[in-house]
A and B are shown apart, each in its own frame.
Chain A
Amino acid sequence: MSQTMKIALWASGLVFLVAVAAWLYQLHEGLVLTNLQNSYSWGLYISGLAFFVGNAAGGLVLSSSIYLFGVKKLKPLAKLGALTAFANVTAAMLIVLPDIGKPIRLYNMLLHPNFMSPLVWDVIVLNLYAVVSALYLYILMLPELTGPLARFAIPVASPAEFSEKWAKRIAPVALFFAIGIHVITAWIFSTQGARDWWFSPVMAPDFVSVAIGVGTTVVLLAGALAYGTGEKYQDAYQTLGLIIFMAVCVHLFLMANDLAIHAWFGNPETHRIMEIAWGDFAGAHIFEVVAPLAGAGLLMQAGVRRSLSRLAASAGLLIAGVFVHRFLIMPAAYNNIPMTMTPLGQPGVHWSLPIASGRFFPGMSTFIDQYAYTPSLVEIVILLGTVAYAVFLILLAIAKLPILVKEAS
């Protein structure tokens, strides 16, 4: 194991442990340690769920490209794709835990599941995708489970043939669940008629397009870090760059389409949405558009793909833009109070009923109709720790398992 790898493992492991400690502290004190309150009841953690779910799409892109569309040059990246998918989908499930007020009672999801709830569907499909990703990764690794790892190998006559045959069989199943995690995570929001910002049929297709863009970026970044940017891999990177660019364009189109429709009709609720999306959060909105577009555009350049630092910076820009996009799921939903009315006898007045915050904020009214949410330190640490968990898992797997294709030297 190289020195850099050791340092990276220690660093990510430590950040994860700090986040675990922060979560235990939050378990003891309650969600009072977050900056959430009743009128703004989901924040960084649930944005994190959407973010990690998107990042997990890499496995889908790789497996379906290779085994359904026959893009064989991507084969050296197949295991990395499955690994990043597994790490991110488990991170998505982890980041939900600190958002739960009584995580100890999660067994109720098994004892008394309500199958009308999109949250139940999401738990099912996220777990299945994690299992399928792990299984797929195992099948791909099977021919190389030799030496000390041989005891983990299932005894088959020809491991290479077996691996190829079953990878081809699992790929369509994985594709089904991979699309499923994005669609159903989007449905958690877009089924909610109470929130005009979410209540849009475009949300699920948009989640799929964002995910294909950012998930592939995660694999490209992992591939470049693991294999470098040598000529041998440029062909594969070019294909990934093209997939990323097309997915980002589709995403920006779907988003603009949604905003344009919201803006055009111009009823008071959508006025309020535009005030938040294009007013209060104008800077963040520009970033969520420009950063992924610029990142994807740069990754289309052969020169950028040949330089590790420039590739990493472009990928980082795209991922950061998508993160901000995920953060912006909340403000226009929660700062647009659903219960609004034109009071009797007051035409032209559009009035929101304030909500009791449930929190004690010195100098602030208990009844709130607008709230400037910024995540607390505990929320930020827990989110960073979840990123660190995914990084740690990916690095550890690369160090201990036959993830990377050996150079034929």
Chain B
Amino acid sequence: MKMGMVIDLEKCIGCRSCMVACKQHNAQPPGTWWNRVFTPGSHHHLTPPAKGVEFFLPVHCQHCENAPCEKVCPVGATYHGEDGAVLIDFERCIGCRYCMAACPYGVRQFNWEEAEKAHNRSHYQENYHYGYPVDHRTKGRLVYTPLRPKGVVEKCTFCAQYRDHGELPACVRGCPGKARTVGDLDDPDSEVRKLIRDRNAFQLLPEKGTKPTVYYLPPKPKEI
């Protein structure tokens, strides 16, 4: 089993529902976004860089097979789970941030202070807590905790807390256009393999040799 995701950019309408679902379900502190949706070429949401050429690009952890973040981690806090997802053990991470230097996708994020303090600093409503409410362990390792301790690095887990219960990641469930598909990259008959084969799927920064398991289907040119 090798978990993979295919994101169909033709179906992505740029609504950012996945961003918000991800942020909420994974209790991300203020300023932290595991999942970002861009309008490539533009610096402002929904501002097309040129008429007719806009498309939207969701970017989160690419769950690389040859993950530089995993290789640089001095304590093995970043590791590959059994299904190929790259996870972080919140109890082992020492917070050296070497992985953040190593990741070419800019998806790794640090807890610069306690989550509660960050909430106050950003003027969140007092005692407002969102997200999956309890700690989650995958084979004994703490891969999710709702109130993040300061000094550890975090990123997308493909929603380990849901997948371990047989459910899909929040971004997949929250996508109104059903642009996201997950499945087994090892199975030649799986839906993801079929989409990759039939639709000219591409990866981000393939030249870095990281072997991402997240694939993108290119959008068609728009009629103006």
Interface residues, chain A, CB within 8 Å of chain B? Answer: 29-32, 34, 36-39, 41-42, 96, 99-103, 105-106, 108-109, 111-114, 116-120, 123, 188-189, 191-195, 333, 337-339, 341, 343-346, 349, 351, 353-360, 366-367, 369
Would you call B31 and A101 a contact (CB within 8 A)?
Answer: no
Q: Which of B59, B103, B114, B149 contacts A194 (CB 8 A)?
A: B103
Would you call A112 and B94 a contact (CB within 8 A)?
Answer: no
* Cβ-Cβ contact count across A and B, 8 Å cutoff: 190
Would you call B75 and A346 a contact (CB within 8 A)?
Answer: no
A362 to chain B, nearest CB (A): 10
Q: Is B177 an interface residue (CB 8 A)?
A: no
B residues 84-132 in Cβ contact with A at 8 Å: 92-98, 100-106, 108-114, 117-118, 121-122
The 20 listed contacts between A and B (C-beta, < 8 Å) are A31-B95, A32-B150, A38-B109, A39-B106, A41-B101, A101-B96, A101-B110, A102-B151, A105-B94, A109-B74, A111-B75, A114-B73, A114-B75, A116-B71, A338-B104, A341-B204, A353-B38, A358-B110, A360-B31, A360-B118
By beta carbon, the residue of chain A nearest B40 is: A343
Across-interface contacts of B31 in A (CB, < 8 A): 356-360, 366
B residues 25-41 in Cβ contact with A at 8 Å: 29-33, 36, 38, 40-41
In the A-B complex, list the 3 residue pairs whose CB atoms are closest, starting with the nearest.
Answer: A101-B95, A101-B151, A343-B40
Across-interface contacts of B150 in A (CB, < 8 A): 30-32, 101
Would you call A333 and B152 a contact (CB within 8 A)?
Answer: no
Across-interface contacts of B74 in A (CB, < 8 A): 109, 113-114, 117, 119-120, 123
Would you call B53 and A113 a contact (CB within 8 A)?
Answer: no
Query: Which of B43, B92, B112, B153 has its CB near the most chain A CB atoms (within 10 A)?
Result: B112
Across-interface contacts of A195 in B (CB, < 8 A): 101
Q: How far apart sit A354 and B43, CA to CA, in the bound complex (Å)?
A: 8
Would you call B109 and A356 a contact (CB within 8 A)?
Answer: yes
Would you call A193 and B76 a contact (CB within 8 A)?
Answer: no
Q: Is B72 an interface residue (CB 8 A)?
A: yes
Q: Is B68 an interface residue (CB 8 A)?
A: yes
Chain A interface, DSSP helix/strand/loop, else mixed: loop
B residues 19-61 in Cβ contact with A at 8 Å: 29-33, 36, 38, 40-41, 43, 49-50, 52-53, 55, 57, 59
A102 to chain B, nearest CB (A): 4
Q: How far apart sit A371 and B76, CA to CA, in the bound complex (Å)?
A: 30
Across-interface contacts of A346 in B (CB, < 8 A): 40-41, 49-50, 53
Q: Is B170 an interface residue (CB 8 A)?
A: no
Would you call B114 and A333 a contact (CB within 8 A)?
Answer: no
By beta carbon, the residue of chain B nearest A105 is: B94
Q: Is B77 an interface residue (CB 8 A)?
A: yes
Q: How far apart sit A100 and B98, CA to CA, in the bound complex (Å)?
A: 10
Q: How far apart sit A116 and B74, CA to CA, in the bound complex (Å)?
A: 8
Q: How far apart sit A189 and B209, CA to CA, in the bound complex (Å)?
A: 17
Would you call A101 and B92 a contact (CB within 8 A)?
Answer: no
Would you call B75 and A193 a contact (CB within 8 A)?
Answer: no
Would you call B221 and A100 a contact (CB within 8 A)?
Answer: no
Would you call A30 and B68 a contact (CB within 8 A)?
Answer: no
Across-interface contacts of B38 in A (CB, < 8 A): 353-354
- Give the number of residues in B that approach A within 8 Å (Cβ atoms): 62
Would you call A355 and B106 a contact (CB within 8 A)?
Answer: yes
Across-interface contacts of A337 in B (CB, < 8 A): 106
Would you call B96 and A367 a contact (CB within 8 A)?
Answer: no
Q: Which of B92, B94, B118 contacts A100 (CB 8 A)?
A: B94
Q: Is B218 an interface residue (CB 8 A)?
A: yes
Q: If A102-B151, A108-B75, A346-B41 touch, does A359 touch B112 (CB 8 Å cutoff)? A: yes
Q: Is B205 an interface residue (CB 8 A)?
A: yes
A37 to chain B, nearest CB (A): 7
Q: Is B208 an interface residue (CB 8 A)?
A: yes
17 further interface pairs, Cβ-Cβ under 8 Å (given A343-B55, A366-B31): A30-B150, A36-B112, A38-B100, A100-B94, A100-B96, A114-B76, A117-B73, A117-B74, A192-B68, A337-B106, A338-B105, A344-B53, A357-B31, A358-B29, A358-B31, A358-B111, A367-B36
By beta carbon, the residue of chain A nearest B154 is: A358
Q: If A29-B113, A101-B110, A343-B40 touch, does A194 touch B151 (CB 8 Å cutoff)? A: no
Would you call A117 and B205 a contact (CB within 8 A)?
Answer: no
Would you call B97 and A42 a contact (CB within 8 A)?
Answer: yes
Q: How far apart sit A120 and B96, CA to CA, in the bound complex (Å)?
A: 12
Would you call A109 and B40 a contact (CB within 8 A)?
Answer: no
Q: Which of A102, A338, A343 contacts B41 (CB 8 A)?
A: A343
Across-interface contacts of A96 in B (CB, < 8 A): 96
Would you call B98 and A117 a contact (CB within 8 A)?
Answer: yes
Would you call B110 and A41 a contact (CB within 8 A)?
Answer: yes
Across-interface contacts of B106 in A (CB, < 8 A): 38-39, 337-339, 353, 355
B1 to chain A, nearest CB (A): 24
Q: How far apart sit A295 and B51, CA to CA, in the bound complex (Å)?
A: 57
By beta carbon, the residue of chain A nearest B105 is: A339
Q: How far apart sit A290 and B30, CA to CA, in the bound complex (Å)?
A: 44
Across-interface contacts of A37 in B (CB, < 8 A): 112
B207 to chain A, nearest CB (A): 9
B127 to chain A, nearest CB (A): 19
A16 to chain B, nearest CB (A): 23
Across-interface contacts of A360 in B (CB, < 8 A): 30-31, 118, 121-122
Across-interface contacts of A123 in B (CB, < 8 A): 74
